[in-house]
Structure 1
Amino acid sequence: MTVLEGNEDQVSIGIDAAVVADHQIAIRGPGVREDFRASPTLAGMAKLTERLSPYAGSLVVVEPTAGTWLPLTMAVTEAGCRIGFVQNRDSARLRQAINGRTKTDVVDADMLARCEAVLGVADAPIPLPGQVGLRRALRRRHHMTVDAHRAECRLWSLAIWAMPDVWRAAGGHAVAQPLLGRWPDLRALWRARLSSITEIVAAHSRDKDPTRRAERIRDAAQGWHEFWIGRLDLDDLAWEIAEMCDDIDIADQRQREATDHALERWRYHWPDDVLLSVLGVGPICAATTRAWWGDGHHLRSAKAAGAFVGLNPSNWESGLSASPSRSITKEGPAEMRLVYYQAANVARRRDPQLAAHYRRLMCERGHTHIQANCAVARKLAARTWAVLHTGEPYEPRDLDGNPIDEATAAQLAVELEVPTDTRRRNRATNPRRGRLDLR
């Protein structure tokens, strides 16, 4: 570990935040060693402010637990102190290095008091009231998105073993999911009108012959119905599929409600947001950026912006071995990481510079789509930070740096599309490298 240089007379303060119990506070410095508790109540916050007031200007390091960081921030700043946060996994590693397997509230608070020197914890900006509400709405939206995806995965897993030919005939979840939502019973699916199945196939796919695919789906349903007779209770199977489809619908509805609320608050606090000028950045990405970054002035550089989102590649070195450009650090909020990944997938189709960067990684360095798209997301975060700092709308440019309009930019990006055989080859080289995990 590298200990950062600092003032020898500086007082270090750590707070082990608690949700139900009292907060544990440790104050360390030359001739100073205090340990006390403060309840999360109004009286406890007043006590904390009073006890920290003699150390105004010091940095208080907190391991955020649930929403306790917000009242602690107010109490600490009222005492004239600064506040910084350290992620749970970082503090856990430091605690294990210092105290091994010993874990108590006093040990945690003492360890947090050392984080300023060991980890170089920086001051955290105080969020505006609108940011706090927007952040919580987007966090709920993120949870609903994850819940919906998990519900879909459960349905896919069941369909793949219970009726794999139906799944393959449908060509994946885009068609299979609405089909099973309408006909969860195999008997009903293979007896359904061909025109009804064709209508769903045409609405959820780009198949040039939806009728032919509908025939294959119905034949597959009939085959698996006959296969399971006497071996599996089809009524139970239909009930389970219907329940899973209901879970997906409920999660999707909750996600839409959270999305609507978040966008409403974002438009209220940031009307005509300049972030929308960045190609690929839509309302959700702009709202998420404002929720966690605000005006972005607490981030000193574009690299700091990428590190905040957790999109920087990690490095590993030992002796003569070195593995640069490994998996991303995932140090930032998962909500920002996911929306920037999704926004990058749009930006590379609209911005020629990002399209060229994506193509170079795919064609020359053998990256998978997920790896290359994470690199594009990192560049997109840097551009968003630049727009926040300058306050000027983003101006698309061609590969030579000349200003162009959005239509021309999109046309140039299309010309840089990665060939299909390259995508297939990169996936086949190492299938596990193509799995997305942005937690």
Structure 2
Amino acid sequence: MTQRRLVGIDLGIASAHTVRVLDEGGRQVCRRRCEPSVESLTVIEQVALAGAVAGTRLEVVIEPTGPAWLPVAVFFTARGHTVFRVSSARAADLRRFLSRHAKSNGIDADTLARLPLVDPDGVRPLRLPGAEQAALDRRVRACDRLTQTASEHKVRIKDLVRQVMPMTPLTGELGKADLAVLARWADPRALLKAGPARLTAVITTASHHHQGADRAQQWLAAARAAVDLYRDHPAVAFTDLAAEVATEVRLLAAIEAELAVHAAAREDAYRWADPGQLARSLPGLATVGGPVLATVIGDAARFPTGAHFKSYLGLAPRASETGNTDRKGQPMSKAGSRLARAALVRAADHARKQDPQLARIYYTQMVERGSGHLKALCVVAARLAERAWTVMRRRMPYVICDTDGTPVTPTEAKTVIAEQWTVPTSVRARRRSTKPTTTKAGKAPQRVLTGHARSDARNADKRGDLPHQRSSNQPTYTVKPAGILTTDPR
């Protein structure tokens, strides 16, 4: 009979870890607390193996609690033990089942230790990445975090400019020329004093001659409108708003500089982790998407099928079946990596324009299934995830084929998509959730009857009279443009 030792560790960020050790029957062997150090973790290993037969390997179960899981996982995997890193949602579900009305560190640790007994097929051993994969993972995460931070600063800059200049020219992408203007003259009064010649020179230099006098006139018009609107009202602090805008511009420049450094290092790490650049051979996955996919999938062999990888990313739809009812069209679970899921959804929008097979899937969702653009992209992203697993598992680059399986060139693929799998404009307009630009006539105002008019209408309803059956001496009701009802006796 095989002897087991199950170790559940409730990780603490600023406190000690709580440990519970169980045997193969779920009986508690010991309880301890430990620190993320060699001495403390060695004591946990010794007390957990006390009384066990020689050769027993610990089964350590932890949650991905911030950065606290990595030291524990490295220690026990280096000693030859098995480590399971389970999702916090699964651990919380089991804890509510075992202890519905109580929660403590000890209960959490005991719940984690019981997971391999309750759901042996639902836990998979943790495989720590190698040097190249770990370096790529860190660079990908750093680039993603810096990109999000830069986006937040851009939104903040636009909001501040919209406050100081209500007729803001920042209606599209925030370009380098716009940042150069805001770094110098975010105050509309200073912008007007700079004059069109100086402003045009700054814009021309910053945009490398892509913009010039026309863009300068847009900025001057916005500044002039702001000065005319606000005048010298004390509630509008032009100087302070301009200083805050300048601060946001400098922070954005620093973040973009750091992002460029990490992006270069990410490219170098990706070449070591994926020498054949197989991830980038997939349609839609280019400079950013390729490294993201490579770092998330790691060793593709750890997923039995492409459907398992799709489910791991959270792109698989939820299931809702009972009796003879099987509800289709359920939303996707979103249970996996947010970074990889977002990368695949963005890639799907480009892949449907390059691959006829994916374009057909998008066309079917939009035209035949009545799906919106985003839902159709999620379906395409799920198929793209399965193909990504196949490419990484077979170690062969992706080949674009027609719907009958015949390989085609990129030019031929675009021709096939344009002729057969392009969603009609009318269908796309019906699926679009934005309101039309043309104004529609409102509903007619409801007639409100008062006094004798209300009594006459009530009596007519009781008699069952129709409007044309009423006597000619009854008053008729007209609606004035202001919506006030008056009587018009005949």
> TM-score category by the smaller chain?
0.7 to 0.9
CA contact (8 A) 1:228 1:234 kept: no
Output the amino acid matched with 2:16: D
- 2:128 pairs with 118, 126, 129, which one? 126
For residues 67-89 of structure 1, give each alpha carbon's deviation from its aligned partner in whole angstroms, at most 9, with x where no partner exists: 33333223333454322212223
Percent identity of equivalent pairs: 28
Q: How does 1:4-403 map to 2 (within 5 A)?
A: 12-28=6-22, 29-30=24-25, 32-33=27-28, 34-53=30-49, 54=52, 56=56, 59-100=59-100, 102-119=102-119, 120-167=122-169, 170-174=170-174, 178=179, 180=182, 183-190=185-192, 191-193=195-197, 195=200, 215-231=217-233, 232-315=236-319, 324-403=328-407
- 1:426 pairs with 422, 431, 443, which one? 431
Query: What displacement does 1:106 show?
Result: 0.8
Q: Which residue of 2 aligns with 1:434?
A: none
Query: What is the CA–CA distance in structure 2 between the aligned matches of 1:141 and 1:256, rounded to whole Å?
Result: 9
Query: What is the CA–CA distance in structure 1 between the aligned matches of 2:91 and 2:141, rounded to whole Å?
Result: 23
For residues 191-211 of structure 1, give each alpha carbon's deviation from its aligned partner in whole angstroms, at most 9, with x where no partner exists: 434855985999899x9xx97
Query: What is the CA–CA distance in structure 1 between the aligned matches of 2:372 and 2:18, rounded to whole Å?
Result: 46
Output the amino acid matched with 1:88: S
CA contact (8 A) 2:160 2:241 kept: no
CA contact (8 A) 2:279 2:291 kept: no
Query: What is the CA–CA distance in structure 1 between the aligned matches of 2:409 and 2:178, rounded to whole Å?
Result: 39
Q: Identify unmatched segments of 5+ residues in structure 1.
A: 1-6, 432-439
Change (3 A) 1:31 1:345: closer
For residues 360-389 of structure 1, give each alpha carbon's deviation from its aligned partner in whole angstroms, at most 9, with x where no partner exists: 323333433333222222222211110111
Change (3 A) 1:182 1:279: farther
| Bigger radius of gyration | 2
Q: Which has the higher contact order (CA 8 A, sep 6+)?
A: 1
Query: What displacement does 1:296 show?
Result: 1.0
Q: TM-score, normalised by structure 2?
A: 0.74
Output the amino acid matched with 1:145: T
**SS in structure 2 at match of 1:35:** strand
Q: Which residue of 1 aligns with 2:479?
A: none
Query: What is the CA–CA distance in structure 1 between the aligned matches of 2:154 and 2:418, rounded to whole Å?
Result: 31
Query: What displacement does 1:418 show?
Result: 4.0
Query: What displacement does 1:304 show?
Result: 1.2
Q: Which residue of 1 aligns with 2:441?
A: none
Query: What displacement does 1:324 show?
Result: 4.3
CA contact (8 A) 2:86 2:123 kept: yes
CA contact (8 A) 2:157 2:248 kept: yes
Query: What is the CA–CA distance in structure 2 between the aligned matches of 1:32 and 1:148, rounded to whole Å?
Result: 52
Query: What is the CA–CA distance in structure 1 between the aligned matches of 2:83 and 2:319, rounded to whole Å?
Result: 29
**SS in structure 2 at match of 1:13:** strand
Q: Which residue of 2 aligns with 1:435?
A: none
Q: Which residue of 1 aligns with 2:485?
A: none
Output the amino acid matched with 2:9: I
For residues 1-51 of structure 1, give each alpha carbon's deviation from its aligned partner in whole angstroms, at most 9, with x where no partner exists: xxxxxx997654322123343322222232741222232101123233434
Query: What is the CA–CA distance in structure 2 between the aligned matches of 1:301 and 1:400, rounded to whole Å?
Result: 23
CA contact (8 A) 2:313 2:335 kept: yes
After TM superposition, the structure 1 stretch with the greater mean CA deviation from structure 2, 186-195 or 403-412, is 186-195
Query: What displacement does 1:131 show?
Result: 1.8
Query: What displacement does 1:397 show?
Result: 0.3
Q: TM-score, normalised by structure 1?
A: 0.82
Output the amino acid matched with 1:81: H
For residues 145-199 of structure 1, give each alpha carbon's deviation from its aligned partner in whole angstroms, at most 9, with x where no partner exists: 21111112222333344434224xx533446954545642223445434855985
Q: Identify unmatched segments of 5+ residues in structure 2.
A: 437-490
CA contact (8 A) 2:3 2:56 kept: no
For residues 53-75 of structure 1, give each alpha carbon's deviation from its aligned partner in whole angstroms, at most 9, with x where no partner exists: 54835643211223333332233
Change (3 A) 1:399 1:200: farther
Query: What displacement does 1:236 show?
Result: 1.6
CA contact (8 A) 1:316 1:323 kept: yes
CA contact (8 A) 2:7 2:60 kept: yes
Query: What displacement does 1:390 show?
Result: 1.0
Query: What is the CA–CA distance in structure 1 between the aligned matches of 2:102 and 2:384, rounded to whole Å?
Result: 42
After TM superposition, the structure 1 stretch with the greater mean CA deviation from structure 2, 296-305 or 39-48, is 39-48
Query: What is the CA–CA distance in structure 1 between the aligned matches of 2:406 and 2:387, rounded to whole Å?
Result: 17
**SS in structure 2 at match of 1:192:** helix
Query: What is the CA–CA distance in structure 1 between the aligned matches of 2:247 and 2:428, rounded to whole Å?
Result: 36
Query: What displacement does 1:277 show?
Result: 2.0
For residues 410-432 of structure 1, give each alpha carbon's deviation from its aligned partner in whole angstroms, at most 9, with x where no partner exists: 4434554445554454332699x
Query: What is the CA–CA distance in structure 2 between the aligned matches of 1:181 and 1:83, rounded to whole Å?
Result: 52
**SS in structure 2 at match of 1:428:** coil
Query: What displacement does 1:122 show?
Result: 2.1
**SS in structure 2 at match of 1:15:** strand
Query: What is the CA–CA distance in structure 1 between the aligned matches of 2:72 and 2:151, rounded to whole Å?
Result: 34
CA contact (8 A) 2:4 2:57 kept: no
**SS in structure 1 at match of 2:126:** coil
CA contact (8 A) 1:59 1:123 kept: no
For residues 274-294 of structure 1, give each alpha carbon's deviation from its aligned partner in whole angstroms, at most 9, with x where no partner exists: 222222222432322332322
Change (3 A) 1:325 1:146: farther
Query: What is the CA–CA distance in structure 2 between the aligned matches of 1:430 and 1:363, rounded to whole Å?
Result: 20
Higher share of residues assigned helix: 1
